[in-house]
Structure formats: C-alpha cells, structure tokens
Structure 1
Amino acid sequence: MMLSLSSTDIQLPSPRPHGLAKYRDLTEMARGGNGVLYAAYDQIVGRTVVLKMLLPEHRLDRGFRRRLLREARVTAQLEHPGTVPVHEIGEDEEYGIYYAMKRISGENFFSVLRQLGKGDEKVAAAFPLHRRIEIVRDTCQTLVFAHAAGVIHRDVKPENIWVGNFGEVTLLDWGSAKVWGAPTLDDGRYAVTSTPHNESSHAPPSESASMSKVKHEEHTYELPTLTPANLLIGTPTYMSPEQIANRDIDERSDVFSVGVCLYEAMAVAEPFRGKDRNETFENICMRQPTPPSERSPNQHIPKEADRIVFKAIAKQTASRYQTMRELIADLDELLLIVRQEETE
C-alpha cells in the first residue's frame, strides 16, 4: 500500500489537490493589457509563488493562449540566475492557461531611477553611479546567456530589470522574445500597420553623416508612458531603429536597448524621449542625444562612458557592439574608472 503525502505530514491537504487547487490565498499583484499576476501559497511545497494568467476576456482567445504558453516555456527554458524560475505550467477549467514562478523581492530599476530623478537622497546613497552601471552590466550577462540560447528579448528597459533586496538583478518579461528557429506565434497581431511615417523615413543615417540633435524633454519621469506603436513589439523609448522599421533583428537590437538603459542609468534622463511617440521614433532613427556626461554633469559621468553609450546606440547595427560580451568588457573597464573616481 502506497503512503500518501498527507499521511507523512498532517499539515498537507488530503486528498492532494492538483492544478490551481493546490494554491490558496490568491492576491492580485498587478495586471496589464493581457494578463494578471497573483501572489499565492503553494500548499504542497509550502512557499509563496506568483501565478500569471490571462485576463477573463482573453482566456478563450487562441492567440493570447499561445503567446502566454510561449512566454512561460521560453522563461522556463532560460535557467539562469538572472531569470525567474518557472515552477509549473498548467491549465484550469475556469481560469485557463497559467504558470507559476518564483516570487522575487525588491523593486524595478525604473522605480529606482524615478526616485533618483526626484532627488531622493536615500536612494542616491544606495545607488551611486557604479552600482547603477553594475545593474546594467548584470543585465547584459543574462542576455549573453539568452543570446547563446537563440533568444532575443526585444523589450529590455529599466521597468523589466528587477533589483533584489540582496543585490541580485533579474531580467523579466520574456513575452516579447524572438526565438531563433521557432515559428512565430504572433498570428499577425504584431505586424506593422500604417503609421504617419513610412519605413524609408525611419531608415537610420550613416554614422558618419551629420545628425541633428535630440531636443530633450525636461522632467521625463513626470511624463506619461508612451504607448507601444500600433502592433509593434517593444517599448517606444527603448526600441532599436530596426525594430521601428520592422526589419529583421538579432542580438544587436538588444545591445541598442541596453545602451539606452545605460544612458538612462547614468544620466537619470531618457536619451530619445520626444513629446510624442512619432518624435521619439524620429529621435531614435535620425538624431543624436546629448552625451550623458554633458546632459547630467552633476552625476560625474566619465567621458569614456559617452563613447560606450554612443557605440551601443549606433543607428547602424554594424557600428554597434556586435555581442553583449564586447559591451560587458567595456563596462568592466568603465567600472574601474568610476570606482576609482568615487573613492578619490
């Protein structure tokens, strides 16, 4: 006769629940346009997890179901300290497809930068320049692993970078990822539709061409978030020129997005943010931002940082860092300079 788990530990429920039934105390944490996150307690393992599932209006939609399943599987297959472990993928008669993942503590990097932008001295002490560069570097390390596995994130931004209470850095939201060799599951939802600017108007100029300068918006952290372009993948202020033009992308598109994050992490200001989405796209494709060291002189950013940022956010892919490893090597050198200057 086989002993049950509950006969071994009386604290375990009997009979043993399966699927969503094994989770109790579901508490909504956040919701977006497609899905919702719940904190829940796993009665069998005895831990708090996060459950992600679709909003009620999307639970029967085949496209949304396929994308959530794809997101769960891509995240589960990227087993790395910089990604969130997926514990289970399942389906419930009432709630549809869901997946359970580790609950992480801390805050997203965007929240940190927003507080810095507001002059929070406590946050400034906890996140000096070298620490902010380290966070970007750790994100790059996770992307090295993902790129080696044939996965392009496509939505790297501070809001998707989670800074843990013990210094750990986690890259979230792989739902927009491109997987090399895998069939697209977008069902046409993310195909480019007509916009006020055609593709040729967003073609990046030669790096040697004289580019106009970005007219920077002030107090960008107080401005509303720009909505994604109609049916384009990514967040407008962090998209690469090739994403905007809907051209084929590779890991160098993530390099560009990381370069934007690096600029923002150091200068505590967005490099390409315009008054609206179209101006932002024009800035990304046609204009050069003010060097971070000049944009925010109070942050004491070395000139070497300007060179690294501009190489990462070069309009032409051939002019960028060709791999994340190349960018990491320069960030390591930059960190040596910054740490030395901070101790002087």
Structure 2
Amino acid sequence: MSDLEEAYQQRDGDFRQFYQFDKLEEMAESSFPILDSLQISEQHYSEEEFITQGGEKKIFRVRDLLGDRYVALARPIHCETKNELESFLREARITSFLQHPNILSVHEMNLDAQGIPFFTMEFMNGQSLAEILEKLTKKDAKTLEEFPLNRLIDIFQKVCSALSYAHSKNILHLDIKPANIQVGEHGEVLLCDWGIAQIQTGVKIPESSGIDLSKITLDPQLLNDHTLVGAISGSPGFICPEKIHQKNKLSPASDIYAMGSLLYYLLSHQMAFSGSNEAIIQKTLKADFIKPSLSCNHAIPRSLEAICLKAMALDPKNRYQSIKHLEDDLELYRQGFPTLAQNANPLIYLKSWSRRHSKSLLLSSFFSLLIGFILFLAFEKINTERLQAITEKQRAEENLQLFKQQEAATRKNRQLYELENKLSALQADHFFETISNLYDLDNYTDATKRIKAINKHLEREHNQERLKILLAYKAGLYFVLQNYPDCIKTLDKINIQDSGKLKSLYDLSNIYVALIQDNKKLSSEQLESLTLRFPNHIQSMLYYTYYYHTMNSHRKPEENVKIAEALLNRINLLAPQTDRHIKLKKFKNDLYHLDLSHHEYRHLSMPIAVNRRRRNLLLTLHINQLDLSHTRFNDGSELIGYNLDELHIRGIKKISNLRIIATGRIKKIYHNLELSDQELLKTYPKVKFIRVSE
C-alpha cells in the first residue's frame, strides 16, 4: 500500500469518527453535517471505560457523542433504595450549583435506560495531588523537579480560591484532602468530591453575591439530611476537631483546618498525624503533632509554617476566620512580607526587607567590597617592599626548623604506626580467642552488644577460618534474639553442611521466620512449638531464647506456663511432654499458686551463664505460693531470688543449702524435714516452719 493510500485511509477513519457515521456516502450531499449528526444520533455516550470508585459512586471515562469529547460519568454503587440514589445525586446537585474554574464541572444529571441515575462531569487528564505527594515523599527526582514549593503553593492557592467561592455560596466541602484535588497536565487544578458537603443554615448571603434567594434550588434541610449523622465522616488527618466532637456547629473554619493539614503535607511531604485511624483521631483532638520544619529534612519558610499552624489551631476561634484571610496571608508571603500569622518582630521585618531588596543589597555589598579590596591592595603594595627582605630571611629560618620538626615527626609516626599494628594484631587475636571460647561454651549472654562488637571486628578480619567462627557465633546470637531473617542471612555467608549445629539453626530459622509478626517476636504458642521440636545437641540456645523472650516482653503468666513446663522437662532430662502437667492457679490480684508436686523435678534453673536469678524458669509466673511436695528437689540454691508467702516441701527429708531459702524472703515453709522444730527455729529464725504430716 502506498503512502498516499495510507494517508487517505487514516483521514477517512478520522472523518467517520468525527461525524459518527459509518457510511460517509449518506452525508456526502449534506450541507450541515454536524446538525444532521445530532438529529439522527440514537446514542449519547459510548466507549465506557472504568476508571475508579469511591464510597458512593463508580467513575467511568465515556465518549460524549453529541459533544464529541470525553467526559467522566458517575454511577451509584448502592442503588437499592431511593434514599441511596438521593444521596448519590446530592453531590451532583451541589457540584452543579458551584461554577468556578477550580471546581469540577457537572455537565448532565439524568437516568439511564434502567432508570438508574447518573451524572457526567468534566474529564481532565492528569493526576491527583495525593499521587504527586506520594512521589515527593519517595524523593522521586522528576516529581521534585516538576513540583517545587512555589508550584505546590500555586496549587494550594487555587484550592483556596475554589473554597472561598464555595463558602460565598454557604457550602462547606468537609472532605478536603490530596486525593480530592486533581492537577492537570497544563496547570489546571480542580477541587472534587463534594459527597459529604454541607450547606450552612441560618447564614445570611451578602447582597453583593448577586444571588436571588427566591430562586436558589439547593435546599439545606433536604441535602444535609443525607450526610452521616452521629458518625465521623471524612478522612482522618484532615477532619477538624469540632467535627469529631460533633458538638460545635461546623463553619468555614472547619474547612480551613483541613487546608492547614493540606499545607502541612505540601510543606513537609508527610501528614501531620500518623498511625491508625483511632490514633490519628485522638492526636487530632489533642493537636498532637510536631511543626512541619521539625518533621522533615528540607528547609521550610517560617512564614508558611506560621500560616499552617494558625490554620490548624485546635480552637476554631484561633484559626483564620475566612479563606480570604488565609489567601491574604499567602499573598504577603508571595510578596516577601511577613505574614500576620507570624506576629513578626522588628528583626523579622528587617529580614523580609533584606530579602525583597536582595539585589540592591548585593550590588551595594559588592561595590563596597570592591572599593575595600582596591584600598587593601594599595596598602599591601606599599608595605610589601618594606617587609620583603625581612620576610624572606624569616621564611628561610622557619623552613629549616620546620624540616627538622617534620623529619622527627615522621620517625615518631612510623614508630607509632608499627606499635599500633602490633597492638591491633594482639587485640584481634584476643577478640577472636574470646569469641571462639564463647562459641565452644554456648555462651550467648549480652547478645546485642556482642553482635555490634563482631560487626566492627568483621570489617578488618580477612582470615577465612576466623570469619567462619565469627559468623557462626553471630548467627547464634541472632537466633536467640529471635531475629531469624538476620540469622539466615549470616548463615548464607558460610558453609554449614559440615556443622550439625549450624544446619539445625538454619532449618529452624527458615521454619519460624514466616511466623514472626509485627512485634518481631514469637507468640507463646509458637515458642512452645519451638521448645518441643528443639534438638538436644543445641538445647542451651533454647534456654537463651527463653531468657531473652521473657526479659524483653511482658506476657501473662498463663501464656508462659506451657513453655515453662516443657523447659522444666528438658532441664530435668524428662520427655518434652508428659501425662502429668504442672498447675498454675490465680488466687489473688496478680498472684499465683504453682503446683509441681509429685513430679520428677530436681532442677528449676536453666543451665546457662546469666545472672543466677534470671536463670530460674518460674520467675515469669508471678508465683506467691509454690508446692514442691514429693519431688526430687533437694537444693535450696534453686530458689534464689524468690519472694513467696508459702513453700510446700512435704515428702522431702533433706535439703542442701537450706540457709539460702531461710533468709526471710520466703515467709512460710510447710515441711516434714528431718531437722527438729527447735533446730529450725534456732538456726533459721526469719522463716516460719510449719510441720505437716505426709
């Protein structure tokens, strides 16, 4: 096909589309093709394409065949009741009432063939302000270049203009946020989504507004009835405090608060409040936010920050009383004057004056410096010849002395360098020997500090054998801290196939890494599962895991009892799970009675190298009464650190280190020991021994 034929077919297709005819021959004789196309058109909209949806409506991009353009068409999401349809049409009626260059225009409200209402709006190519701010937050280079602060303030001023116009019609938007502001490809700015807008009642419209009150079609009572009543409607972070309280009457100050939150976002590239919706609402009620200049790394003009803080005042009386006042302050900023929100002192006025006249000041300073420099050169020329001879002599003497000093310093530095290398080598050997011994002894105390020390040492360690030992120990430290992702990363750097210990750590980390939640700790049930499946050859790491787990988290005793039972069984060389279970019973406030009677327990402490008190498994159970009757318990040192009202040891005839538990920290001991009551009273007067029968 020739180029001429291709061009003809392209033009033929465009012509057919423009006049909406498949058969151009039918229009060949017409002198009024556009009029004829309107008269015979049977369809108004075509090429319907879904764009997005909100709380009440779905938005489609459609082609308006009569106007030969693309428009946005809104359909209701919920259309089962007339009340839902009326709520949907409410936004269209309010928006169509507002005719402003920066407010989205409504073209038509109608019913489709099924009787479902729809309305069409202006369709603008571009992006929402929310999308722009998201890119700015992520430091997108192109967006930072396209949207500097001045352009963002231009967008803000256009939104102010649209809102000022709406307020002049006694309409409050009440849902101002970046997602409801569209920015076009050619600088257009449109304020959208008037779905929860309200019409102020009892407000007199100024005569200068040119509105005939008798012809206004917006009925505040009718339209406002379809907003959320008794609920908080709007977007957290942009809702004003009085709307959350639902006590004070909404006013233009309510929209001004949202504009302040929007300005905060524009200045700092992040929202004033963060967290869950409930947390944001609570912070809003307390005005719990930091200044924009303190929440970001880039500079923010103080005058704009003052405008933002005034607009976001907690009390509506302390905000701008109208959008016009806010616009006036913005104009002062644009012209380089201090804003009213700053409460400027003379120094601020002086700084603003200097910025406005910066070019004049720069020229004056330049010429002053130039004249001073010329005078300085003249003076220097006069003195140079007089001082040159003296200077040359002094310079030669100083250079000789400096050479001698540098030579001595070089020798000293060389000696210090050699000594430092020797000391560094000795320190490295000592550090490696220490870590190697800790690794061999399965000692994982001070895990966080040791990880930092190992990371620092790894920067200068090049011996592969040493690297393997250091990384293996580091992986174990990560494991006992339940940092399974970093444990896996560390083990991936070394060969673990020849080490059953490391391979077990790797397998367990891969199993439990997927179970770590936002708090980055295993739950009680997950830790119990880990306890039951833990290999015996590395069981000391299990004890350290429990140690750090209980040290860094606070769980109810009921959540820890099963884990404690499984570990007690391991420590006492019993099966991980037995038919007989320990019994924990709450009897007063947060105090518990623990029954270990008739078990084969001899030891209550974990065999790890930590503080003796922290080794004990039962301290996390908040025990006030402990029953060890008819167990194999026979060493008082196992109860170091306990404060008990009652200790039951029936069926135990003799206990070594009895003095350790007879210091008064345990108040009553129910027993049938071999020692007589007189011996017990004389030897251990701080404890009340109560003899009981078996």
SS of the residue aligned with 2:110? strand
When the two structures are superposed, what TM-score results if normalisation uses the length of structure 2? Answer: 0.40
Structure with greater Cα Rg = 2
Q: 2:229 corresponds to which residue?
A: 191
Q: Which amino acid aligns with 2:44?
A: K
- 2:238 and 2:258 in contact (8 A); partners too: yes
- Whole-angstrom distance in 2 between the partners of 1:237 and 1:64: 27
- 1:75 and 1:174 in contact (8 A); partners too: yes
Q: 1:33 corresponds to which residue?
A: 55
Q: How does 1:173-184 map to 2 (within 5 A)?
A: 173-181=193-201, 182-184=220-222
Query: Unaligned regions of 5+ residues in structure 1, if any?
Result: 1-5, 193-230
Q: How does 1:85-164 map to 2 (within 5 A)?
A: 85-94=105-114, 96-164=116-184
Cα distance, 1:288 vs. partner?
Answer: 3.5
Cα distance, 1:68 vs. partner?
Answer: 1.7
Cα distance, 1:329 vs. partner?
Answer: 1.0
Q: Deviations over 1:43-76 (max 9, x none)?
A: 1111111110112xx2232222112211111111
Q: 1:280 corresponds to which residue?
A: 280
- 2:182 and 2:190 in contact (8 A); partners too: yes
Q: 2:46 corresponds to which residue?
A: 24
TM-aligned CA distance change 1:72 to 1:259, over 3 Å: same
Cα distance, 1:93 vs. partner?
Answer: 3.5
- Whole-angstrom distance in 1 between the partners of 2:100 and 2:295: 35
- Whole-angstrom distance in 2 between the partners of 1:25 and 1:83: 25
Cα distance, 1:333 vs. partner?
Answer: 2.1
Q: Which amino acid aligns with 2:297?
A: P
- Whole-angstrom distance in 1 between the partners of 2:290 and 2:225: 39
Q: 1:54 corresponds to which residue?
A: 76
Q: How does 1:320-331 map to 2 (within 5 A)?
A: 320-331=319-330
When the two structures are superposed, what TM-score results if normalisation uses the length of structure 1? Answer: 0.80
Greater RCO structure (CA 8 Å; 6+ sep)? 1
Q: 1:64 aligns with which of 68, 72, 84?
A: 84
Cα distance, 1:33 vs. partner?
Answer: 3.3
- Whole-angstrom distance in 2 between the partners of 1:319 and 1:184: 32
- 1:59 and 1:95 in contact (8 A); partners too: no
Cα distance, 1:135 vs. partner?
Answer: 1.1
Q: Deviations over 1:280-324 (max 9, x none)?
A: 1111111342111222231x2112222111110000010000000
- 2:178 and 2:262 in contact (8 A); partners too: yes
- Whole-angstrom distance in 1 between the partners of 2:293 and 2:59: 39
- Whole-angstrom distance in 2 between the partners of 1:93 and 1:183: 30
Cα distance, 1:337 vs. partner?
Answer: 4.3
Cα distance, 1:105 vs. partner?
Answer: 1.5
Say what the alpha-carbon RMSD is for the aligned residues: 2.3
SS of the residue aligned with 2:221? coil
Tell which deviates more after alignment, 242-251 or 118-127.
Answer: 242-251
Cα distance, 1:186 vs. partner?
Answer: 5.8
State whether structure 2 residue 292 is matched by structure 1 residue 292.
yes
SS of the residue aligned with 1:28? strand
- 1:24 and 1:42 in contact (8 A); partners too: yes
SS of the residue aligned with 1:60? coil
Q: 1:209 corresponds to which residue?
A: none
- 2:126 and 2:183 in contact (8 A); partners too: yes
- 1:67 and 1:186 in contact (8 A); partners too: no
- 2:52 and 2:60 in contact (8 A); partners too: yes
Q: Which amino acid aligns with 2:33?
A: D
Cα distance, 1:138 vs. partner?
Answer: 1.2
- Whole-angstrom distance in 2 between the partners of 1:105 and 1:336: 32
Q: Deviations over 1:18-55 (max 9, x none)?
A: xxx41011111112232111111111111111110112
- Whole-angstrom distance in 2 between the partners of 1:152 and 1:251: 7
SS of the residue aligned with 1:143? helix
Q: Which amino acid aligns with 1:256?
A: Y
TM-aligned CA distance change 1:189 to 1:326, over 3 Å: closer
- Whole-angstrom distance in 2 between the partners of 1:65 and 1:292: 42
Q: 2:37 corresponds to which residue?
A: 12
- Whole-angstrom distance in 1 between the partners of 2:187 and 2:38: 36
SS of the residue aligned with 1:12? helix
- Whole-angstrom distance in 1 between the partners of 2:285 and 2:329: 24
- 1:53 and 1:95 in contact (8 A); partners too: no
Q: How many residues align?
A: 293
Q: Which amino acid aligns with 1:92?
A: D
- Whole-angstrom distance in 1 between the partners of 2:227 and 2:170: 23
- Whole-angstrom distance in 1 between the partners of 2:58 and 2:115: 11
Structure with the largest fraction of strand: 1
- Whole-angstrom distance in 2 between the partners of 1:113 and 1:89: 33
Q: 1:241 corresponds to which residue?
A: 241
- 2:287 and 2:314 in contact (8 A); partners too: no
TM-aligned CA distance change 1:141 to 1:186, over 3 Å: closer
Q: 2:97 aligns with which of 64, 77, 88?
A: 77
- Whole-angstrom distance in 2 between the partners of 1:154 and 1:330: 22
Cα distance, 1:188 vs. partner?
Answer: 6.8
Query: Unaligned regions of 5+ residues in structure 2, if any?
Result: 1-26, 202-219, 338-351, 360-694
Q: 1:260 corresponds to which residue?
A: 261
TM-aligned CA distance change 1:336 to 1:130, over 3 Å: farther
Tell which deviates more after alignment, 125-134 or 262-271.
Answer: 125-134
Tell which deviates more after alignment, 287-296 or 329-338.
Answer: 329-338
- Whole-angstrom distance in 2 between the partners of 1:176 and 1:134: 26
